[in-house]
Structure 1
Amino acid sequence: MPLHEIQVTKTARYYTIGEWSEKTRKVIFVLHGYGQLGEFFIQKFKELASENTLIAAPEALSRFYLNGFSGRVGATWMTKEARDTEILDYLNYLNKLLDTLLMDLNPFDVEIELLGFSQGCATAARWFEVHSEAFQRLILWSGYFSEGISEVVSPSHFVDKPLVYVYGNKDEILVQTQFDEFLKSLKQAVPTINIIEFEGGHQINTMVLKQIF
């Protein structure tokens, strides 16, 4: 049977920590992983916020119950179903969010950095791909791409912009992948990449955050 699609308006939400004023000089976008919510994910970055730095956490457009039909709720950036459409939808959403936040600021006076965690790595990398001129740096944390980084973003962007990859040496998710081969492919694709390993699992490590920022 034929497939039909229509475009509809959907309300997206995002969370911020930090001052938003003429003193703002840095905006850090942080993209959560599978099954997380922006409201709680952004708390992991609160120590980075200041009168000069704003943290912004967009939330994925699709939400679901984590267990059964009630209780805790999580969000996901995409699934395998209608994959290309979901990617286009969240890119349109993120682009509009970027324009909205920077509307009252001179973009040349503000440094914008982008961090993706777990599933949010692919989302962040795709956003960087289509809007690389807006971001000063891309940080990928505990993400994995089965076909290598070129699956989501062109390595040529990192000739003049930094790429950072962070992972825990006891990551219970990455251990299920071909992770050693993936790290080798990252180094081959982006020789200037900064790879940071920390003691821990599939999580945001506050000490490493302070080291990066």
Structure 2
Amino acid sequence: MEHHISVARTARYQQLGEISAATRQLWLVVHGYGQLAEYFIRHFTPLHAADPLGTVIVAPEALSRFYLTGTAGRVGASWMTRADRLAEIEDQDTYLTHLLANALAGCPASTRVTVLAFSQGTATVSRWLARHANRWRPQQLVLWAGDFPADIEAEKARQLLQQLSVALVSGDQDAYVSAATLQQQAALVGQHGATVTTLSFSGGHTLNASLLQQLHTQAMG
């Protein structure tokens, strides 16, 4: 018979910039399957460099790490698999909620928060944010090369997405997210009241520096 026990766990994250009274923007950026935060956050270095005092980037790393090939070599991390899925979702919720609270504690009340998730991370952050939407929402949600899970309860989805600025992004050569899929996602989040922008670039399943800069500029208002 299967049982569960809760244990203390050390999570790691990467950060660009120091949170202070000068922080105007906080970006929580969530990597995809098989990635590590220390490499993922490098994509956001130009955003911090453009506003070194005002923009802080925080990149949590998924709790499950593994060798990408065989039993040695490069290591990646995964947010979840189908094994013990519900427990994984609970652990993600505890982790991300604590990390965000810790970051916001040092920010001015006027700090604008952008949550950006890539690939596998999009489902993780969507479920997490939907759980807490009646108490807190970011100013901007970016779902890049991923999806908003269809299994999120309609009422929770509405609480999260109603009048929320949501950007859906994918490359025109992305093997996982086609142009049709992007439009289907736009229709789904739009049904729940989001203010949706769809963005595309020439490329595959990756981030794009120019669009990141565009999103950062828009978030600065």
Same fold (TM over 0.5): yes
CA contact (8 A) 1:149 1:155 kept: no
Q: Which amino acid aligns with 1:96?
A: H
CA distance in 1, matches of 2:154, 2:147: 11
- In the alignment, what sits opposite 2:29? 30
1:17-166 equivalence runs, <5 A: 17-49=16-48, 50-106=52-108, 108-132=109-133, 133-144=136-147, 147=150, 154-166=157-169
CA contact (8 A) 2:30 2:116 kept: yes
Give me the TM-score of the superposition, normalised by structure 1. 0.89
Deviation of 1:197 (Å): 1.5
**Secondary structure of 1:174's partner?**
coil
Superposed CA offset, 1:131-187 (max 9, x none):
331411111000035737768960343223211111111101225x96664454444
Superposed CA offset, 1:103-135 (max 9, x none):
2334x2211110000000011112221233141
CA distance in 1, matches of 2:70, 2:97: 33
CA distance in 1, matches of 2:94, 2:128: 9
CA distance in 1, matches of 2:198, 2:183: 13
**Secondary structure of 2:102's partner?**
helix
Structural RMSD (CA): 2.3
> Structure 1: which 5+ runs fail to align?
none
> Structure 2: which 5+ runs fail to align?
217-221
Q: Are the structure 2 counterparts of residues 153 and 174 from structure 1 closer, same or farther at C-alpha, using a change threshold of 3 Å?
A: farther
CA distance in 2, matches of 1:161, 1:189: 10
Query: How many residue pairs get matched?
Result: 210
CA distance in 2, matches of 1:44, 1:70: 26
Percent identity, aligned pairs only, is: 40
Q: Are the structure 2 counterparts of residues 149 and 141 from structure 1 closer, same or farther at C-alpha, using a change threshold of 3 Å?
A: farther
Runs of 4+ in structure 1 over 6 Å off: none
CA distance in 1, matches of 2:152, 2:78: 20
CA contact (8 A) 1:25 1:109 kept: yes
